[in-house]
Amino acid sequence: MKVLQQLSHGATAAVVRLRSLGDTVLITPALQLLRRARPDLWIVVLLDRALVPLLEGSPDVDQVVAVDAHGKRDLIRFVRSLEPELCLNLHGGSTSAWITALSGAKFRAGYAHYSKRFLYNVRIPRAQQILGRPADAPVHTAEHHASAIFHLGAEMGPIPAARLQAKPRPAQREPYAIFHVAAAYDTKRWSEERFLATARHVRDRHGLSPLILAGPGQDKALEAFREFERLPQLSIPAMKTFVENASLFVGNDSGPAHVAAAFSVPSVVIFGSSDSRVWGPWGGTGEAVETAWDCKPCPGDKCRAFGEPRCILTVTPEAVQAAIERALAR
């Protein structure tokens, strides 16, 4: 009998995710599958405090618990007080593995190919095995997490799109396009000049007002975009609302691109060093634009092949603008 079939009616299932905005969005298909398979479960998700608002209002989550950088003993004590029957680690790092191991859950599940697998009594195989694909086939991150729910006992079937909930639009404004121009690494950051040219193209051709977005600590990325409205230091709830109500999203491969996909916003995501087959927009309303290089994917912290990130430097405005036309025509 599969794990989900062994859980008591109304049991608590704790899902450990912790970090990363984009990765958190990409567990939402798995959460939907878990909810569909066992609608009676009390589903708790553990996230870093800064990310808690990301899942607020989700119909697939009953409780979101903030995990602080300190106070791990108190956290373990709190998780144990929930008396989970299932604790599922969808993060994979050491902290999440130990939270899972010490949760007190009857079923402590995590990926068998990650470190600390000895801490789990339910070891989840690779997604390729669960989904019946060749061992070397690329698997999207959303599929990777969804496959864990299939392994635990959910009926195999289509994997849903990511989804989030946002507060209602706060004020009426003209139709706009979000441009997310920041990125953690140069290998994932399209040039300011090309973003500017593309923002002007969208404004002049489609009548959409460009709104320029960057994340916390990324205000410097906004300096070149003074001719447009800029959105620095948005809270996660505000960012969700702005993205949900956009007519178009254009941006680097980063968390807000996954937020746009979760709201079914027509999206064009510019890829450099990452693998779009694994990290592309999930849900059918987005398109990845990239160029092919034998050195892709790579860790991305620097370009080891050429000294400059040709993967992102060779993505042209014409290619991005053509993708925008396709996105808006769908």
Domains identified in the chain and CATH numbers? 3-152 (3.40.50.2000), 176-329 (3.40.50.2000)
Residue 246: both structure tokens together: 């956009």
Residue 15: both structure tokens together: 């899902």
Amino acid at 9: H
33, 57, 59, 156, 284 from 108: Cα distances, Å: 19, 27, 24, 21, 33
List of the chain residues with pLDDT < 70:
69-70, 169-171, 217
pLDDT value of position 170:
60
Alpha-carbon span 138 to 65, nearest angstrom: 32
Query: Measured on CA atoms in the order 131, 288, 304, 187, is the torsion positive or negative?
Result: negative
pLDDT value of position 228:
93
Alpha-carbon span 229 to 177, nearest angstrom: 11
Q: Model's pTM, two decimal places?
A: 0.93
pLDDT value of position 171:
67
The predicted-structure confidence for 169-183, as pLDDT tens digits, reads as follows 666 789 999 999 988
pLDDT value of position 70:
56
Contact yes or no for 209/177 (Cβ under 8 A): yes
List of residues 6+ apart from 193 with CB closer than 8 A: none
Pairing type for strands 248-252 and 176-180 reads: parallel
Alpha-carbon span 93 to 95, nearest angstrom: 6
68, 132, 152 from 4: Cα distances, Å: 29, 21, 6
Alpha-carbon span 68 to 259, nearest angstrom: 23
Alpha-carbon span 65 to 49, nearest angstrom: 8
Q: Helices (H) and strands (E) in the chain — how many of each?
A: 13, 12
